[in-house]
Structure 1
Amino acid sequence: MRIDEIEQEDSDIEWFAIDSDGHVLHISSGGGVLPESVASSQETLLQLHQYFLALPDTVAASLVQVEANAEKSGRNYQNAMRYARRGLFSFDKTLLNKHLDPQYHLVVRPVAVLTIKDIPEPIATLLRRTSLPDSVLSKTHLIVSDIG
């Protein structure tokens, strides 16, 4: 089933992508527009969530960016940390609930990086549907409209 525009705008949907080098990204939508490859299937999104959350933790993640006054704004980066401990780069929507704003910022960079080569083929096939055109290694920001 497709994730419709109203659900996208009303929800903080966690989704996944790979970069041009095969690094895996976790992205929290914060009410933003999802790439069509993500919005097209709730079932695929659920499969990816189940796979990544079942992975064991790797070494501790390094917190690289925290929003100023994070506690006061109610932002919680525990999910980002959980995915980074499993090897995923984690990004969050910069302006929450600004549905059409495409900007995301890096929240957590993993110490032990997970790549598409480390993932079983059925899951890797699902991940390849959503990809960043360049490497995430030096990025601290993403524009979601660049992800296809």
Structure 2
Amino acid sequence: MRIEEIDQEDADIDWFATDSNGHILHIASGGGVLPESVAASQEVLLELHQYFLTLAEAESAEAVPLEAGAEQDAHFQGFARYAHRGLFSFAKARLHNRADARYYVVARPVRPLTVAELPKHIATLLSRTQLPASVAQQTALDISTIL
């Protein structure tokens, strides 16, 4: 079932993508517009969400310095759970501003997980949403570039 625009606007939806190097991203929508490849199937989104949250945690997440003490903040901890599993984790820059496609990195993994390490079925689902560049060194992201 498709995720309708009104539902996208009213919710902070966790979704996933890959980059040009096969790294995996977690992105919290913050009430923003989802790429059509994500909005097309709530079932696929839920399957990916369940897969990544049930993965065993790897090494510690590296905190991107947003402010002093961010590692202790509950906001950071929510994003760090994905980084602990090897995903780069991004949050919306301006919450509930549908027109703003900008996101910032909240946590990044010490050892990034790649698509090549995933089960084939999960890799296929994830490959529906791809960024044209690498996110390894980026501190910000514009999702309007997602294919």
**TM-score, normalised by the number of residues in structure 1:** 0.93
The amino acid across from 2:83 in the alignment is A
The amino acid across from 1:114 in the alignment is L
Aligned residues: percent identity?
A: 58
Counterpart of 1:125 in structure 2 is 124
Distance 2:51 2:109 in 1: 17
The amino acid across from 1:79 in the alignment is G
Shift in CA distance, 75/61, structure 1 to aligned 2, threshold 3 Å: closer
The amino acid across from 2:40 in the alignment is S
Match of 1:76, SS state, is helix
Q: Report 1:109-124 matches (<5 A).
A: 109-124=108-123
Distance 1:79 1:46 in 2: 17
Counterpart of 1:103 in structure 2 is 102
The amino acid across from 1:59 in the alignment is E
Counterpart of 2:141 in structure 1 is 142
Q: Quote how far apart the aligned CAs of 1:43 are.
A: 0.1
Distance 1:67 1:92 in 2: 15
Q: Report 1:1-148 matches (<5 A).
A: 1-66=1-66, 76-148=75-147
Distance 1:89 1:31 in 2: 19
Q: Quote how far apart the aligned CAs of 1:77 are.
A: 2.4
Distance 1:22 1:98 in 2: 29
Match of 1:77, SS state, is helix
**TM-score, normalised by the number of residues in structure 2:** 0.93
The amino acid across from 1:143 in the alignment is D
Q: Quote how far apart the aligned CAs of 1:65 are.
A: 3.6
Distance 2:69 2:2 in 1: 35
Where in structure 1 do 4 or more consecutive aligned residues deviate above 3 Å?
A: 67-70
Shift in CA distance, 109/69, structure 1 to aligned 2, threshold 3 Å: closer
The amino acid across from 1:57 in the alignment is E
- How many correspondences in the alignment? 145
Contact 1:86/1:114 (<8 A) preserved: yes
Q: Quote how far apart the aligned CAs of 1:66 are.
A: 2.6
Match of 1:62, SS state, is strand
Q: Quote how far apart the aligned CAs of 1:75 are.
A: 7.3
Match of 1:58, SS state, is coil
Q: Quote how far apart the aligned CAs of 1:67 are.
A: 5.8
Question: Structure 1, residues 48-71: CA drift from partner, whole Å, max 9, x if none?
Answer: 01110111111110111436897x
